Amino acid sequence: MNNKPLTKRQIAVLSIMAGKAYKRIQSQGCPLPSLRDWRHDEVWAATGITESLTKATQEHYVPIYNRLASYLGCAPVKDRTWSEMDKAIHNLRDAMQRYEITPDYLAEIVRDQLHLPCTGRDVYQALRNWAAVEHVRHLMYTVINRGRAETRKMVAETGQETYEPHADPCTMPPGKLADHVGAVRIVPTPGPHNPTARGFHSNIWMPDQEVQP
């Protein structure tokens, strides 16, 4: 989680919002404690950890903001911070896609190791709801190790080193990839050039220029 403290600007924004919300509720005749005590109560209700804005962290900003915004009739903001679970799930998905491992296989591992009832369709949601971050990281390492094992097996069977275990030979362009760099085809020099006055050969050739005999 993002444990960085709130910036001075964020604290100022929340303090101003708290003051406006306090006055708005007070104007409706609702009995309230002092502004300081009321703000502490609201921060605690939003975070569940601290009642002080100076001790709140970045992950608390959106919950506090949305709670105060509800009193003012303002639209809530989306939480764009990534938790440790978000990062772990993202890395797991990346490993799954890299080695082309199906969610059904992952669900089978989750059912076997974590004893969580899930299928390939809801395996990620089950991990979010019931698994710990360490469990998700362990699953990522399991997926990576399986993918590397499959890659080594493919190299042993074909005798060819590959960086993409899902590369299909039938999709290779003519001449394989020897004359390609990325998506740009390298045009070979059609023939030797006449030596220069000092006897050096020029290796520079432009495809749109004819070679002089």
Cα(91)–Cα(99) distance, rounded to whole angstroms?
A: 12
- Decide if 21 contacts 72 (C-beta within 8 A): yes
pLDDT for the residue numbered 180: 47
Q: Tokens representing 124?
A: 């990620």
Q: For 184, list phi and psi in degrees, rounded to 5.
A: -105, 125
> H or E stretch including 98?
helix 84-98
| Closest among 1, 107, 132, 21 to 61, alpha carbons compared | 1
Among the ranges given (86-90, 154-158, 190-194), the one the predictor scored with the smallest mean pLDDT: 190-194
Tell me what pLDDT residue 211 has: 47
Residue 17's pLDDT band, with cuts at 50, 70 and 90, is very high
Average pLDDT, whole number, for the chain? 79
Q: What is the pTM of this model?
A: 0.45
